[in-house]
Chains A and B, each alone.
Chain A
Amino acid sequence: MKAQGKAIKYGDNVDTDVIIPARYLNTSDPNELAKHCMEDIDTEFVSKVQKGDIMVAGKNFGCGSSREHAPIAIKASGISCVIAETFARIFYRNAINIGLPIIECPEAAKDISDGDTVSIDFDSGKIVNVSKNKEYMGVPFPEFMQEIIAADGLIGYIKKQLGSKEA
């Protein structure tokens, strides 16, 4: 699986309250959530994001509330992958569980500038900055997480597990 798009860059400690403010959590409809994604720190995000774009951020991305609405909103807004120096642990789990591709790569997160064209090969973990003609290697997923990803998320994985128990 591959992704390519323009980078939209943010700083450290982007919390799930700014990814999707709680005032919009009276629904879990992905398209409704996407309309308000990032608006408290970037009022232009919703109008500028193009399908396939890549979100790039610093340390502790997705900290705070466990709301799965955060990765759901990012995914529904068209973002194909989030690259960060580090992810907060609940966000990391949630992203894997719902099938939003994420990659930890401090080097790429620091070096990529807003607007750079970036491509990612998820199988190898290789990130290419097309604009700067540079390459970075992301931290690969542990094997069991790759199984979850291959099953299109945790629900698919559990279904498979339960199915094999019955069989």
Chain B
Amino acid sequence: MGMTMTQKILADHAGLDKVSAGQLIKAKLDMVLGNDITTPVAVKEFKKIGVDKVFDVNKIAIVPDHFTPNKDIKSAEQVKFIREFAKEMGIVNFFEIGQMGVEHALLPEKGLVVPGDVVIGADSHTCTYGALGAFSTGIGSTDMAAGMATGEAWFKVPEAMKFVLKGKPGKWVGGKDIILHIIGMIGVDGALYRSMEFTGDGVAHLSMDDRFAMANMAIEAGGKNGIFEVDEKTIEYVKEHSTKTYKVYKADDDAEYVATYEIDLSQVKPTVAFPHLPSNTRTIDNVGNIKIDQVVIGSCTNGRIEDLRVAAEVLKGRKVHEDVRCIIIPATQKIWKQAMNEGLFDIFIDAGAAVSTPTCGPCLGGHMGILAKGERAVATTNRNFVGRMGHPESEIYLAGPAIAAASAVLGRIGSPDEI
């Protein structure tokens, strides 16, 4: 029996010729990541271990992106604590305000993750880097502490589900719609403990930004990781962003999958996840008349340049509805500058949208766009749980940037075709 992409990467990093699903292994880590919420707990745990240095100052990334620019005194103190730790340890990849971006948009852009890597991050959306053909998965603060000390982590080798993508997605359909479609199909625990492996001819029609959005939300199906087969687009992206050595892993022909799904991308419609689960999906033609108060376009899922271009295409020459606040958050400084240079900010500002510095902010109900009781938001973020963006009686509808921008104009959930 052969191995999947994930299993091959894990085997190599465990120094084994072969691994199989369910096997417990210890793997070497190429990158250990944390943010301003999870790293403070990790540092406290790290200090209990009793080592005085981290395993590799180049293989740790600390990105204060959640409550930054610091939203209150306690948040400022948390960031100060981890900044001092990074300095003390000589951690190279600490990203201060001004260089910082939303972590999962930032790391690939900085070339810190390449195909074949094993990455753990104290943030559940660490699975994003599967878009690059890396094994990456979310863990907690204590695992981060252990990873920083030893450069290793324990894993149970996952079973895999195979998603064979075919055809070309239609206008206004992006990676977000495809992954919401998949989560709607398999449920929020449909891939629990498993890897989701994306392959097929359709992958060629997906940009890297589409793939990042899809791998990013593997966790919303319970997945341990999501991973794409590496192709020319991946290699082109990696060469443009990184000087690190990479390794391409392909699944064996006789690799075992617990389930295989064929998805015709040409049939996927723009999709919206209704409150309060990402699996509660409806296609845009079935949303009904839902009035909204806020739109957020940004996050580690959809804050990349292509997302902003789609939003600008929809908002160009139009106005945000008078009852709607539209907040646009480019995910990194580089994306911010690119959007500025392409004139996207003129379009956003003229439409009456607000443009923010990079932050996770509203996605997790931190700051920069909290919802009041009874308010509804369309967000390009990744979770619509109870209270996620503010009051426990507020509601979040997840969508891609096209639907989000169109909804901002319409004042209700709708498609660019309606404006």
Q: Which residues of A contact B (CB under 8 A)?
A: 13, 15, 17-18, 21-23, 25-28, 39-41, 59-60, 63-69, 72, 86, 88-90, 93-94, 97-98, 142, 144, 153-155, 158-159, 161-162
Residue pairs across A and B with Cβ atoms less than 8 A apart, 10 shown, are A13-B189, A15-B385, A22-B365, A22-B388, A25-B37, A67-B140, A68-B38, A69-B41, A88-B189, A154-B145
Contact, CB under 8 Å: A88 / B222: yes
Distance from A50 Cβ to chain B, minimum over Cβ atoms (Å): 24
Of B45, B78, B149, B189, the contact of A86 (CB 8 Å cutoff): B189
Give B128 Cβ to nearest chain A Cβ, in Å.
Answer: 13
Name the residue on B nearest A85 (C-beta).
B189
Name the A residues within 8 Å of B145 (CB-CB).
154-155
The answer, yes or no, to whether B123 is at the interface (CB within 8 Å) is yes
Q: Is the CB of A28 within 8 A of B51?
A: no
Q: B366, A162: Cβ atoms under 8 Å?
A: no
Contact between B139 and A66, CB atoms less than 8 A apart: yes
- Cα of A143 to Cα of B189 in the assembled complex, Å: 25
From B67-75, B283-291, B333-341, the one touching the partner chain is: B67-75
- Kindly name the residue among B41, B140, B146, B386 whose own CB sees the greatest number of chain A CB atoms within 10 A: B140
B124 near A65: Cβ-Cβ < 8 Å: yes
- Chain B residues near A23: list those with CB within 8 A: 365-366
Q: Which residue of B lies closest to A161 (CB)?
A: B150
5 other A-B residue contacts (CB within 8 Å) besides A18-B386, A158-B150? A22-B365, A66-B122, A66-B126, A90-B139, A153-B142
The answer to whether A94 touches B142, judged by C-beta atoms less than 8 angstroms apart, is yes
- Chain A hits for B365, CB < 8 A: 17, 21-23
Determine which residue in A39, A40, A60, A66 has the highest number of CB atoms from chain B within 10 A of its CB, and name it: A66
Which residue from chain B places its CB closest to the CB of A89 in the assembled complex? B193
| Cross-chain contact B386 with A63 (CB below 8 angstroms) | no
The residue on B at minimum CB distance from A99 is: B142
Q: What size tier do the contact residues of chain B reach?
A: 35 or more
Residue pair B388, A28 in contact (C-beta under 8 Å):
no
- Choose one: B66, B140, B189; the contact of A68 (CB below 8 Å): B140
Known: A26-B72, A26-B75, A26-B78. A89 touches B122 (CB 8 A): no
Do B222 and A63 touch across chains, with their CB atoms under 8 A apart? yes
Question: B residues within 8 A CB of A154?
Answer: 142-143, 145-146
B11 to chain A, nearest CB (A): 18
Chain B 20-41 interface 0/1 with A at a Cβ cutoff of 8 Å (1 = within): 0000100000000000011011
Query: Is B143 a contact of A93 with CB atoms below 8 Å?
Result: yes
Q: Which of A39, A41, A98 contacts B142 (CB 8 A)?
A: A98
Q: 8 nearest interchain CB pairs?
A: A94-B140, A26-B74, A97-B142, A68-B140, A60-B189, A40-B387, A22-B364, A66-B124
A144 to B150, CA, bound (A): 17
Are A65 and B364 in contact, CB atoms less than 8 angstroms apart?
yes
Hey, which bits of chain B sit against chain A, CB under 8 A? 24, 37-38, 40-41, 44-45, 48-51, 66-67, 71-72, 74-75, 78, 121-124, 126, 138-143, 145-146, 149-150, 154, 188-189, 192-193, 219, 222, 224, 277, 364-366, 383, 385-388, 392
- Are B24 and A41 touching (Cβ within 8 A)? no
Nearest residue (CB) in A for B75 is A26
Residues of B contacting A89 in the complex (Cβ-Cβ under 8 angstroms): 192-193, 222, 224
List chain A residues, Cβ under 8 A from B146.
154-155, 158
Contact for A40 among B24, B193, B392, CB less than 8 A: B392
In the complex, which residues of chain B have a beta carbon less than 8 angstroms from the beta carbon of A59? 189
Query: Contact partner of B140 among A18, A21, A97, CB < 8 A?
Result: A97
What separation, in Å, do the CA atoms of A139 and B72 have in the docked complex?
A: 43
The answer for the CA separation of A18 and B276 in the assembled complex, in Å, is 11
Give the distance to chain A from B10, nearest Cβ to Cβ, in Å.
15
Q: Which residues of B contact A161 (CB under 8 A)?
A: 150
Residue in chain B with minimal CB distance to A153: B142
Q: From the candidates B37, B67, B142, name the one contacting A155 in the complex (CB within 8 A).
A: B142
Measured in the bound complex, the distance between the Cα atoms of B390 and A23 in whole Å is: 8
B-chain residues with CB within 8 Å of residue A18 when the two chains form the complex: 385-387
- Whether B41 pairs with A66 at a CB distance below 8 angstroms is no
A60-B222 contact, Cβ under 8 Å, with A18-B386, A90-B124, A155-B49? yes
Interface centre among B193, B224, B385 (most CB of A within 10 A): B385
**Do A155 and B45 form a contact, CB below 8 Å, given A66-B122, A88-B222?**
yes
Assembly CA distance A98 to B277 (angstroms): 27
A162 contacts which chain B residues (CB < 8 A)?
49-51, 149-150
- Min CB distance A16 to B, Å, is 8
Task: Report if A63-B364 is in contact (Cβ < 8 Å); known contacts: A18-B386, A40-B392, A68-B41.
Answer: no
Residue of B nearest to A90 (CB): B138
**How far is A68 from B66 in the complex, measured between Cα atoms in Å?**
15
